[in-house]
A and B are shown apart, each in its own frame.
Chain A
Amino acid sequence: MVPVPPAASLSTAHLLMVHGVGGHDHLSNLLRTYQSFRANLTSVEVPTEREDLIPGWRITSFDEGASPPVLTLEPRERPLPGTVGRVCLYEVNYSGLAGVIRKNQPLNLTRLFVGLDLVVCEARQRRRTAATTAYGGDNTELARCLQRITGVLTAGAVPIIGLPALAFKNHIGTFVALFTRFFDDVATFVLDKNGEQLISAHLDRTMAIVDKGFVPGDRLVVAAHSLGSVVVHNYVVRQWTAGKSRIPDTVVTFGSPIGLLTWIWLFLDFDDMDFTKRISADHYFCWNPVSNGTAARSPLSWINVLNCVDPIATAFPDEALDLSSTQATIASALSGGRVEHRFFGPARFGAVGVAHGEYLNDRAGFLKILLRAIGLVSGPPEDVSGTRASAQHWSATDSTLRLTQWVLYAGAVSGLVGYFTTVASVFADRRTFLFMLPFLSPMLTIGTIAFFQRLMLGGPTKRITSALIREMSWGDIISFPYRLRERMLRSPDVDADVDPMAPSAGDLTRLAVNAISFAPTLAAMAFPVVGMCWWTGRWPMWQTAASHLWSRMTLLALALFMIYVTVSALHEVVRTWRRVVRAIA
């Protein structure tokens, strides 16, 4: 639909909302944004007029069947000359597209995590003249943290998507689907060239359609959440100097991982994290957002909003906007000479885990910026100050995470106590609890599971060859299991590298691999049982053991141990997150 131009001297602001990862129904993104302008969406009661942030505006049209769908707002009365006379809201919805891409080619997340762990290990050892800092952080420390996170993901795959998850799929199915979709979507845009190009083409087309409705004086505002901000960032870098497509006047990113992803990209695919030294071998990231034109950059205002304890949100440096340009060039094209970062969100335990999805509920912070950016409320969006300054933000994040870490530790220990109580009840002997001691360190538990995952699944991938694995150090605790596996399975007659044209293993093989990778966890679970049998000298008869194995108590024990492993993994994530915060603060 091509909007009719408003009365002379009044401009139109176009707002394009770009969503992040996960499933998003048609219209959900557009209507959620609109509803958040009109109502307090955190209330379960039907909204009242008091919640309306824009009472002077009314809907004049809504075309839900258009592509993209568009909702138009106009003031009830013709406003002051020279101001915004109409606001058009659109949504970019690539969710269905991304879902189909992954349905056509499903990814094995365990392989994805182990592959990422391997490539991080390789990159960590590759850097010969290590850049000490990039983006103001200590790279060596950040690399260690990244390695720790990939280790946690590798270990966490056992209870969340491994064999135990099958036993509890009726109870954790939704969570597993969310977890899977999150990483599927990230992999689709960051690692899968087909996915990246299809999503980019979808955004380009949407931009072109929106552009058709423009008349001189109109403004384009793009608001992008999470992975959507990376999609938009990619668009801006590609088009900024190409001079072919419309560049937004204002970009508002919220919960954006641009800093995180560009850092990882530099770390994995470039020597010394230097953008001019791209590794000529296989790249890990599929994308290559570089400016490739000569047109002058049109002025762009960029506001980045971060909520406290949002694990995805990063306050990326200006140079991350276009790594192929100098900071001075980027600054000269940015309004105000820089990206404006605003820090919001409550610094409390309850916000951990939900902060990433709370931006559209922040009526005093994020929504104020968005409403000003599109002219629904007067005033420059940059004038909206954050709840706290950068240093306070990271300090508040750290202190909130400290509490979270302790709560998670208590949760992990509770799961552990529950498991050992179940075992102790079988033996009717409190000495069982003595076997709990080695499990009291989540770091040790997760590290051990990750070690065996690396040993059992850490072979060459499409991006890492056997030769690269052979170059890794025997003395590194992370690369040791990769080396060991490579040494054990090496055969002079067989080319051990992955054949990209070969089909992956079938369901039965995958089930068997899942069962094997669950074996170390099973051994850990059996440790107190075998220990008590040995200590008391009461070894059960085969029939007794079998009847215990197929009992509700065993299922309960399995659930409790999986809770322990999952919460321990979360504990390790939070502990590492704190280290990252301290490294960049």
Chain B
Amino acid sequence: MSDANISWEGPALKLLDRRDRFTRHAILEDFNRDYRHGAIKLESDSYLTPVSDQRFSVIWKEYDSGQRVSVRAVVPLTNVDFGATEITDEARKALSAYVKRVVKSESKGEIDL
């Protein structure tokens, strides 16, 4: 389990609640165990962590130098190479734009990263 204080924002919880109980459990278990495992940095303090065998991605922000983590969304992404060791700035920008688009669509416009 991680030491950081993890909290889920309301709209993120709504996205989580759309999933069945097995999926919710898998997402929470994976994320709570190690939210940094396989994480990709999207912006300065915003990250994406693949969970549940990379079927879903949790988008989160960290505050207070990593003492506090706030989950913004959880969505299924496609075509993201989670195995890439390095990511260029250009690829990061494209990924960030893609994630924003998916999150906005999945949350029916409620979440605007």
Complex CA distance for A49 and B20, rounded to whole angstroms: 6
B95 contacts partner chain A, Cβ-Cβ < 8 Å: yes
Residues of A within 8 A of B95 (CB): 80
B79 contacts partner chain A, Cβ-Cβ < 8 Å: yes
**Contact status of A378 and B83, CB under 8 A, knowing A49-B20, A53-B55:** yes
> Interface segment, A70-78, A165-173, A256-264?
A70-78
**Contact status of A56 and B77, CB under 8 A, knowing A77-B101, A77-B105:** yes
Complex CA distance for A53 and B102, rounded to whole angstroms: 18
Residues of B within 8 A of A75 (CB): 78-79
A35 contacts partner chain B, Cβ-Cβ < 8 Å: no
Closest Cβ of chain A to B101, distance in Å, is 6
Q: Are A379 and B81 in contact (CB under 8 A)?
A: yes
Residues of A within 8 A of B20 (CB): 48-50
Q: Are B98 and A49 in contact (CB under 8 A)?
A: no
Cβ 8 A contact of A378, one of B19, B75, B81, B105: B81
Residues of A within 8 A of B55 (CB): 52-56
Cβ 8 A contact of B19, one of A49, A57, A376: A49
Q: Are A83 and B56 in contact (CB under 8 A)?
A: no
B28 contacts partner chain A, Cβ-Cβ < 8 Å: no
Residues of B within 8 A of A84 (CB): 79
B113 contacts partner chain A, Cβ-Cβ < 8 Å: no
Q: Are B81 and A375 in contact (CB under 8 A)?
A: no
A79 contacts partner chain B, Cβ-Cβ < 8 Å: yes
A519 contacts partner chain B, Cβ-Cβ < 8 Å: no
Q: Are B94 and A79 in contact (CB under 8 A)?
A: no
Interface size class of B (residues with CB under 8 A): 20 to 34
Within 8 A of A (CB), among B65-92: 75-83
Closest Cβ of chain A to B83, distance in Å, is 5
Residues of B within 8 A of A96 (CB): none
Q: Are A81 and B94 in contact (CB under 8 A)?
A: yes
Complex CA distance for A81 and B95, rounded to whole angstroms: 9
Residues of A within 8 A of B32 (CB): none
**B91 nearest CB neighbor, chain A only:** A80
B46 contacts partner chain A, Cβ-Cβ < 8 Å: no
The digit string for B1-34, where 1 denotes a CB below 8 A from any CB of A, is: 0000000000000000001101100100000000
Q: Are B23 and A56 in contact (CB under 8 A)?
A: no
Complex CA distance for A79 and B95, rounded to whole angstroms: 9
**A52 nearest CB neighbor, chain B only:** B55
Q: Are A56 and B78 in contact (CB under 8 A)?
A: yes
Q: Are B19 and A79 in contact (CB under 8 A)?
A: no
**Contact status of A50 and B23, CB under 8 A, knowing A57-B78, A76-B76, A83-B79:** yes
**B26 nearest CB neighbor, chain A only:** A50
A290 contacts partner chain B, Cβ-Cβ < 8 Å: no
Q: Could you tell me which A residues sit within 8 Å of B by CB distance? A: 48-50, 52-57, 75-81, 83-84, 375-379, 383
